[in-house]
Structure 1
Amino acid sequence: MARKIGSRYTANQILGRGSAGTVWLGEGPEGPVAVKLLREDLASDQELVGRFVQERTALLGLEHPNIVSVRDLVVDGNDLALVMDLVRGTDLRTRLDRERRLAPEAAVAIVADIADGLAAAHAAGVVHRDVKPENVLLDMQGPLGPGGAHPALLTDFGVAKLIDSPRRTRATKIIGTPDYLAPEIVEGLPPRAAVDIYALATVLYELLAGFTPFGGGHPGAVLRRHVTETVVPLPGIPEELWALLVQCLAKAPASRLRASELAARLREQLPLLAGMPPLDVDEPDTEQEDVEPEEAPVAAPARGERVRRGAVPLVPGAKPADSNRDTHTSMRVPAPDELAGGARGTARAPRAAGAPRPGSARHRAATRRRRLTLGAAAVVLVAAVGVGTWAATSGDDSGANSPDTKNSAPASP
């Protein structure tokens, strides 16, 4: 059902929903547009509306081929909407859901595009703060790039910053998606441009592996891994590409590359990745220790259902996002002792393809077979040692008890 947005735009059809609002296919004076209509509770927050108005110039000033441009900001009654360029395509999450992982050449080409967009935004003093596959759009009408990748554009610039106001978060909450949060955000430090680099490197890891480097399990465990754990290597990618990933996933923000440097370095890797198939690794298992003790158990997913990570509140009783297209999640900032203590049970090493999951029936059967094989080998070894000892002992005993005709003395008469 169509609805008017301000005096200049008409929203005709819902394209998607997220925790921050709804995206509509709309029509404006200059043709088709995308209209992101924020939730009513956000639109009724006068402080938030004021922040959007203050940021209007910055939002409208971001112009780059790899950024979805904001054309207008509409504040009308209970409506607060961002009018954006319409990208005819899909988001990167949808492609990942379909393919699970991408060939390295296509993955690197997409991430290089987004790094170019981030470089332009950072030069203008704008930090995205919520880089993830849901916020990357693929232009299906654009020219194909390396590996058959469609041009990639980053959307939702400024939304995380505007929603994450001091009054809304009271300095005790984190706004973001757990899998992509930089360690400094988890520790309560103000987000700088380096948080976008960390998140983008996490996206690249996910495109290559099919899972994020620190995700899985309870969000508290995910946040802890970001702070305490090092990324586990992915087998099968060039050392130069892995070195880039490690540098951009560094715990210290100053150690990470700038967006322009990352884009250039990634494009240098493209010739080395031509024709390389997607990696063949399986997602690591999440141990039961990842569950926070105060949280109620979550119902197990149905057989064959994919578990989606992301919008899960850390505060007991808080409501999660209303859609799998989550944009922002409110989470409690972990205390220092929680972050310091938590490496136990959170190591996540990728398994070789086809290897049994620890704890699975195949894994237990393989363990039993190994134990039986080792046990049988031990029995054979013990038996062999026993036979050898018996033979040696028998030989000694027979020599002592039988007469030696060559060396024995003649019997006395």
Structure 2
Amino acid sequence: MARKIGSRYTANQILGRGSAGTVWLGEGPEGPVAIKLLREDLASDQELVGRFVQERTALLGLDHPNVVSVRDLVVDGNDLALVMDLVRGTDLRTRLDRERRLAPGAAVAIVADVADGLAAAHAAGVVHRDVKPENVLLDMQGPLGPGGSHPALLTDFGVAKLIDSPRRTRATKIIGTPDYLAPEIVEGLPPRAAVDIYALATVLYELLAGFTPFGGGHPGAVLRRHVTETVVPLPGIPEELWQLIVQCLAKAPASRLRASELAARLREQLPTLAGMAPLDVDEPDTGPAREPGEATGSGEPAVARVRRGAVPLVPGAKPDSNRDTHTSMRVPGPDELSGGARGTARAPRAAGAPRPGSARHRAMARRRRITLGAVAVALLAAIGVGAWLAASGDDDAAPSGTSSSAPASP
């Protein structure tokens, strides 16, 4: 059912629902728009409404080909809405779910576009704070780039900052999506432009590998990995590209590249990536795993994990998932962060290798033990036979040696 949003816009159709609100396909004075209508409990928060109005100038002034432009901010009774350009396409999460991982050329081209958008935002003093595939839209009406990539645009600027008010989060909460949070946010430091670079490098790693470098398992474990673990290398990509990823995932914010530098360096890599196929690696495990169909403790077969898409500002969107924007988490204590990464390492497995702890993995381990045992027995037997033959040879040679040294009979 259509509804009015302020005096200038009409919301006609729901495109999707997210943690912060509902995205509608709408109509404005200049044609179709996307309208992000924030939740009613957010709209009733007077402090947030004040912040919403304060951010109006910065958000409306952010104009770049790789940024979904905010056309208007509406405050009308219980309605609090961002009116944005409508992008005809899909979001990056949907493409990643469909393809599992992208060819390096396509991944790098998409991330370079997003880095260009971030460079413009950072120059205007705006930090996104929630860069992830759900917030990257692919313009299907735009020209194809390297690896079949469509132009990429970053959306949802300002939403994290609007919702992350001191009263709402206090000092014991973190606002963000665990897989993409920079270490300094986990440690309670204020988010600067470098947090977007860290998140974008995480996205690039995920596009190449099919999984994030520090994700998986309980959110608390994910947060600790960001602070304590070193990123595990991905086989099969050029060393220079890998070093770019490592630099942008540095624990120290000052060690990371700026967005404009990252965009330029990535585009320099594109000629060397032409024609490269997607990497052939499997996702690491963070706990006991089972092969498809293997029974769980409850007697039910294991079900593969499914990552659903989030809310893009496009038609045909899926509902948001457990990777919601603005997930509220407790800040880990110093003792928890210093606990190290023991038991949480996430080294990629070679394609086709069994998951640790699975029935196939245990069967292969048993076969290895049996084989090694048989080899050991054979080796011991060979050593025993060799020793017996050596001893027999000595016994046979002894009389001959004695008679030759004995004195001659008279």
TM-score, reference length from structure 2: 0.91
Q: CA deviation at 1:356?
A: 1.2
Q: CA separation in 2, counterparts of 1:294 and 1:265?
A: 38
Q: Classify 1:82/1:375 alpha carbon distance in 2 versus 1 (closer, same or farther; 3 Å).
A: same
Q: Classify 1:311/1:110 alpha carbon distance in 2 versus 1 (closer, same or farther; 3 Å).
A: closer
SS in 1 for 2:299: coil
Quick check: 1:26–1:32 contact (8 Å CA) kept in 2?
Answer: yes
Q: Classify 1:405/1:347 alpha carbon distance in 2 versus 1 (closer, same or farther; 3 Å).
A: closer
SS in 2 for 1:4: strand
Q: Classify 1:330/1:358 alpha carbon distance in 2 versus 1 (closer, same or farther; 3 Å).
A: same
For 1:280-300, what per-residue CA distance to the aligned partner results, in whole angstroms no more than 9, with x for missing partners?
1000111xxxxxx99999999
For 1:209-237, what per-residue CA distance to the aligned partner results, in whole angstroms no more than 9, with x for missing partners?
00000000111000000000000000000
Q: Classify 1:330/1:388 alpha carbon distance in 2 versus 1 (closer, same or farther; 3 Å).
A: same
Q: CA deviation at 1:381?
A: 1.1
Q: CA separation in 2, counterparts of 1:336 and 1:313?
A: 37
Aligned identity (percent) is 91
Quick check: 2:281–2:351 contact (8 Å CA) kept in 1?
Answer: yes
Quick check: 1:91–1:136 contact (8 Å CA) kept in 2?
Answer: yes
Q: CA separation in 1, counterparts of 2:83 and 2:370?
A: 67
Which range moved further: 276-285 or 364-373? Answer: 364-373
Which range moved further: 298-307 or 96-105? Answer: 298-307
Q: CA separation in 2, counterparts of 1:315 and 1:339?
A: 39
Quick check: 1:103–1:147 contact (8 Å CA) kept in 2?
Answer: yes
Q: CA separation in 2, counterparts of 1:126 and 1:308?
A: 29
Q: CA separation in 1, counterparts of 2:220 and 2:242?
A: 27
Q: CA deviation at 1:388?
A: 1.5
Q: CA deviation at 1:366?
A: 1.7
Q: Classify 1:167/1:317 alpha carbon distance in 2 versus 1 (closer, same or farther; 3 Å).
A: farther
Q: CA separation in 1, counterparts of 2:87 and 2:233?
A: 35
Q: CA deviation at 1:394?
A: 2.6
Q: CA separation in 2, counterparts of 1:12 and 1:90?
A: 19
2:317 equivalent in structure 1 = 318
Quick check: 1:313–1:330 contact (8 Å CA) kept in 2?
Answer: no
SS in 2 for 1:393: helix
For 1:103-144, what per-residue CA distance to the aligned partner results, in whole angstroms no more than 9, with x for missing partners?
110100000000000000000000000000000001111111
Quick check: 1:56–1:73 contact (8 Å CA) kept in 2?
Answer: yes
Quick check: 2:87–2:313 contact (8 Å CA) kept in 1?
Answer: no
Are 2:295 and 1:300 aligned? yes
Q: Classify 1:302/1:71 alpha carbon distance in 2 versus 1 (closer, same or farther; 3 Å).
A: farther
Gaps of 5+ in 1: 287-292
Quick check: 1:117–1:153 contact (8 Å CA) kept in 2?
Answer: yes
For 1:330-357, what per-residue CA distance to the aligned partner results, in whole angstroms no more than 9, with x for missing partners?
0100001100003110111001111111
Which range moved further: 393-402 or 357-366? Answer: 393-402
Quick check: 2:34–2:313 contact (8 Å CA) kept in 1?
Answer: no
Q: Classify 1:141/1:311 alpha carbon distance in 2 versus 1 (closer, same or farther; 3 Å).
A: closer
For 1:127-178, what per-residue CA distance to the aligned partner results, in whole angstroms no more than 9, with x for missing partners?
0000000000011111111111111000010110111110001111000000
Q: CA deviation at 1:375?
A: 1.2
Gaps of 5+ in 2: none
Q: CA deviation at 1:324?
A: 4.6
Q: CA separation in 1, counterparts of 2:113 and 2:28?
A: 28
For 1:344-403, what per-residue CA distance to the aligned partner results, in whole angstroms no more than 9, with x for missing partners?
10111001111111111221222222222211111111111111111222333345578x
Q: CA separation in 1, counterparts of 2:61 and 2:16?
A: 25
SS in 1 for 2:402: coil
For 1:273-326, what per-residue CA distance to the aligned partner results, in whole angstroms no more than 9, with x for missing partners?
01101111000111xxxxxx9999999999999244999999999999x74562
Q: CA separation in 1, counterparts of 2:139 and 2:254?
A: 33
Quick check: 2:74–2:81 contact (8 Å CA) kept in 1?
Answer: yes
2:308 equivalent in structure 1 = 309
Q: Classify 1:411/1:194 alpha carbon distance in 2 versus 1 (closer, same or farther; 3 Å).
A: closer
SS in 1 for 2:83: strand
Quick check: 1:137–1:155 contact (8 Å CA) kept in 2?
Answer: yes
For 1:75-118, what per-residue CA distance to the aligned partner results, in whole angstroms no more than 9, with x for missing partners?
11111000000101111011111111111101000000000000
Q: Classify 1:317/1:340 alpha carbon distance in 2 versus 1 (closer, same or farther; 3 Å).
A: farther
- May I ask how many residue pairs the two structures share in their alignment? 405
Quick check: 2:21–2:38 contact (8 Å CA) kept in 1?
Answer: yes
SS in 1 for 2:403: coil
Q: CA separation in 1, counterparts of 2:393 and 2:294?
A: 70
SS in 2 for 1:14: strand
Q: Classify 1:162/1:358 alpha carbon distance in 2 versus 1 (closer, same or farther; 3 Å).
A: same
Quick check: 2:290–2:359 contact (8 Å CA) kept in 1?
Answer: no
Quick check: 1:18–1:325 contact (8 Å CA) kept in 2?
Answer: no
Quick check: 1:88–1:140 contact (8 Å CA) kept in 2?
Answer: yes
RMSD: 5.2
SS in 2 for 1:355: coil
Q: Classify 1:208/1:410 alpha carbon distance in 2 versus 1 (closer, same or farther; 3 Å).
A: closer
Q: CA separation in 1, counterparts of 2:170 and 2:314?
A: 14
Q: CA separation in 2, counterparts of 1:299 and 1:59?
A: 51
Q: CA separation in 2, counterparts of 1:348 and 1:201?
A: 17
Quick check: 1:102–1:208 contact (8 Å CA) kept in 2?
Answer: yes
> Relative contact order, CA 8 A, sep 6+: which one is greater?
2
2:218 equivalent in structure 1 = 218
Q: Classify 1:155/1:401 alpha carbon distance in 2 versus 1 (closer, same or farther; 3 Å).
A: same
Q: CA separation in 2, counterparts of 1:295 and 1:141?
A: 42
TM-score, reference length from structure 1: 0.90
Which range moved further: 391-400 or 327-336? Answer: 391-400
Quick check: 2:17–2:311 contact (8 Å CA) kept in 1?
Answer: no
Quick check: 1:116–1:259 contact (8 Å CA) kept in 2?
Answer: yes
Quick check: 1:177–1:311 contact (8 Å CA) kept in 2?
Answer: no
Quick check: 1:220–1:314 contact (8 Å CA) kept in 2?
Answer: no
For 1:41-75, what per-residue CA distance to the aligned partner results, in whole angstroms no more than 9, with x for missing partners?
11110100100001110010100000000111111
